[in-house]
């Protein structure tokens, strides 16, 4: 099959199947064909070096693609078009990958908070395993498209959980990179000090291939770390995994795990430890740090500043979620002392992780402690996992918030299915720039299991 044929097949699939999951924001068929023609020329000339050459993909609709709509999932920006590729998209173009489509997202990536999955220009993200369940936000289209097999990989973004949640709910593998490893130039800003761009794919190995292509320095992004990424060679991976120490608490699964998810999550933990032949050590986040409130304060203040012009304009009322609009307005009222206090407390989070990683190499927990929630369920009151009456966080229940506050990398990967037939997954978190070890650990697990290879039946 030529790259042109493959690009056409991917575009056909996205066009036909994507709307069933509200996953497609814009088809980029003409661009995919141009890029595929270039890939075929490189293949014929035997100049091909990239493993992504001719591979179709999709990107979350907060990343600009020259000439294509970039709506940020929000009605006020439905006609927005940029004349430049985001750096991550440009790097994938240079690698020979072919952009097949822009993928839907929660409006403004959930800035301000939102109550219902319908807070999106394309409608609620529908889960490919059950279209009446949510695919997760805010990278909802990326999770659905990869989970349904519509594209081999997609780019998502995470501020606090937006790669992890759709990966867990849709049964795909997602890699959240260290803050600053991947340029955010050309991406919608939600929270300058938390935003990260990362791949979502079928396997950890595929995520590593994509990350290698998009990571690296960028003079257009002042927060770029300047570091590059390369997956570990098989011999190095085996050496690094020999005697690997896994930090684990478990109370977050035992006490907060949903009835449909808990047994499968606990089996996955045992399975991972056995396959890696890992040494497990007790490791838990300090319970006295208000991780969730800190993320909320930082995100609200920064999002309020970023979207101030929109909030104060008539277009603001076009947003679909009332709670989100209220949250964005409140963000304009955050006091400087509250924002700065949260920023200072981040030092405590960094120190807590430093102590944890003195005793272990990777930290293990659930990706989400519940299976995908119904589309009609309010997101601020999910059972056993949050809301006003939720149990006090225990173990590493706050790992997603804490890991994002510290800018740490994480990999999310499937580990089985709940009693309701929906996917469940685990997450591994590592020290800064430990993506190589994370990919190696998840890849070793996936070589011995088949959870990641399961695909849902396509809906008629």
Q: Which of 104, 120, 138, 142 is catalytic?
A: 138
Q: Is 162 a catalytic residue?
A: yes
Rounded Cα distance, 350 and 407, in Å:
9
Rounded Cα distance, 368 and 390, in Å:
15
Q: Residue 393 gets which letter from DSSP? A: P
Tens digit of pLDDT at every position of the chain (460 positions): 999 999 999 999 999 999 999 999 999 999 999 999 999 999 999 887 899 999 999 999 999 999 999 999 999 999 999 999 999 999 999 999 999 999 999 999 999 999 999 999 999 999 999 999 999 999 999 999 999 999 999 999 999 999 999 999 999 999 999 999 999 999 999 999 999 999 999 999 999 999 999 999 999 999 999 999 999 999 999 999 999 999 999 999 999 999 999 999 999 999 999 999 999 999 999 999 999 999 999 999 999 999 999 999 999 999 999 999 999 999 999 999 999 999 999 999 999 999 999 999 999 999 999 999 999 999 986 444 333 444 566 899 999 999 999 999 999 999 999 999 999 999 999 999 999 999 999 999 999 999 999 999 876 7
Diameter of the chain measured on Cα atoms: 63
Rounded Cα distance, 361 and 372, in Å:
30
Q: Which of 60, 66, 102, 262 is catalytic?
A: 60
pLDDT of residue 393: 66
DSSP element (H, E) containing 428: strand 423-429
**Residues 70, 102: contact at Cβ < 8 Å?**
yes
Rounded Cα distance, 285 and 398, in Å:
8
**Residues 118, 320: contact at Cβ < 8 Å?**
yes
CA 346 and chain centroid, separation: 22
Cβ neighbours for 31, distance < 8 A, ≥ 6 positions apart:
65, 67, 68, 98, 99
Q: Counting beta carbons within 10 angstroms of the beta carbon of residue 46, is it exposed (0 to 12), middle (13 to 18) or buried (19 or more)? A: exposed
Task: Provide the token pair at 284.
Answer: 């838990």
Q: Is 60 a catalytic residue?
A: yes
- Among residues 301, 349, 329, 310, the alpha carbon closest in space to that of 179 is found at 349
- Residue linked to tokens 């990966």: 167
- Among residues 87, 436, 429, the alpha carbon closest in space to that of 229 is found at 436
Q: Strand, coil or helix: what is 138? A: coil
Rounded Cα distance, 380 and 137, in Å:
13
**Residues 397, 289: contact at Cβ < 8 Å?**
no
- Among residues 142, 117, 56, 397, the alpha carbon closest in space to that of 255 is found at 397
Q: Strand, coil or helix: what is 444? A: helix
CA 124 and chain centroid, separation: 17
Q: Which of 162, 183, 224, 225 is catalytic?
A: 162
**Residues 105, 120: contact at Cβ < 8 Å?**
yes
Q: Strand, coil or helix: what is 74? A: coil
Q: Is the four-CA dihedral 339, 343, 348, 350 of positive or negative sign?
A: positive
Q: Strand, coil or helix: what is 59? A: strand
């Amino acid at each position: 099959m030529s790259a042109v044929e493959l690009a056409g097949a991917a575009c056909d699939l996205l066009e036909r199947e994507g709307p069933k999951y509200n996953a497609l924001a814009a088809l980029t068929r003409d661009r995919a064909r141009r890029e595929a023609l270039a890939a075929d020329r490189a293949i014929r000339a035997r100049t091909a070096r990239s493993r992504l050459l001719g591979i179709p993909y999709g990107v979350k609709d907060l990343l600009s693609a020259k000439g294509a709509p970039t709506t940020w999932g929000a009605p006020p920006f439905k006609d927005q078009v940029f004349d430049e590729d985001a750096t991550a998209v440009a790097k994938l173009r240079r690698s020979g990958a072919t952009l097949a489509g822009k993928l839907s997202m929660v409006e403004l990536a959930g800035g301000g908070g939102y109550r219902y999955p319908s807070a999106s220009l394309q409608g609620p993200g529908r889960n490919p395993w059950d279209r009446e369940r949510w695919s997760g936000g805010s990278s909802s289209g990326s999770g659905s498209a990869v989970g349904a097999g519509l594209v081999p990989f997609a780019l998502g973004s995470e501020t606090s959980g937006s790669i992890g949640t759709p990966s867990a709910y849709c049964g795909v593998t997602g890699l959240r990179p260290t803050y600053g490893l991947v340029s955010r130039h050309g991406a919608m800003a939600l929270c300058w000090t938390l935003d990260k761009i990362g791949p979502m794919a079928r396997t950890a190995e595929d995520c590593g291939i994509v990350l290698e292509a998009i990571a690296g320095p960028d003079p257009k992004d002042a927060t770029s770390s300047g570091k590059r990424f390369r997956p570990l060679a098989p011999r190095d991976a085996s050496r690094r995994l020999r005697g690997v120490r896994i930090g684990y608490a478990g109370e977050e699964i035992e006490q907060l795990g949903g009835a449909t998810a808990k047994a499968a999550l606990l089996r996955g933990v045992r399975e991972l430890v056995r396959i890696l032949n890992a040494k497990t050590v007790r490791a838990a986040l300090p319970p006295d740090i208000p991780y969730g409130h800190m993320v909320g304060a930082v995100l609200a203040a920064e999002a309020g500043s970023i979207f101030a012009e929109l909030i104060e304009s008539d277009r603001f009322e076009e947003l679909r979620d009332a709670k989100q609009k209220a949250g964005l307005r409140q963000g304009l009222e955050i006091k400087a002392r509250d924002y700065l206090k949260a920023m200072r407390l981040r030092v405590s989070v960094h120190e807590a992780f430093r102590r944890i990683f003195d005793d272990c190499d990777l930290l293990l927990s659930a990706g989400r402690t519940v299976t995908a929630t119904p589309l009609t369920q309010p997101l601020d009151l999910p059972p056993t996992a949050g809301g006003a009456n939720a149990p006090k966080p225990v173990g590493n229940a706050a790992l997603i918030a804490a890991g994002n506050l510290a800018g740490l990398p994480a990999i999310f990967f499937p580990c089985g299915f709940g009693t309701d037939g929906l996917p469940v997954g685990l997450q591994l978190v590592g020290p800064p720039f430990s993506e190589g070890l994370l990919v190696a650990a998840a890849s070793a697990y996936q070589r011995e299991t088949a959870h990641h290879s399961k695909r849902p039946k396509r809906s008629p």
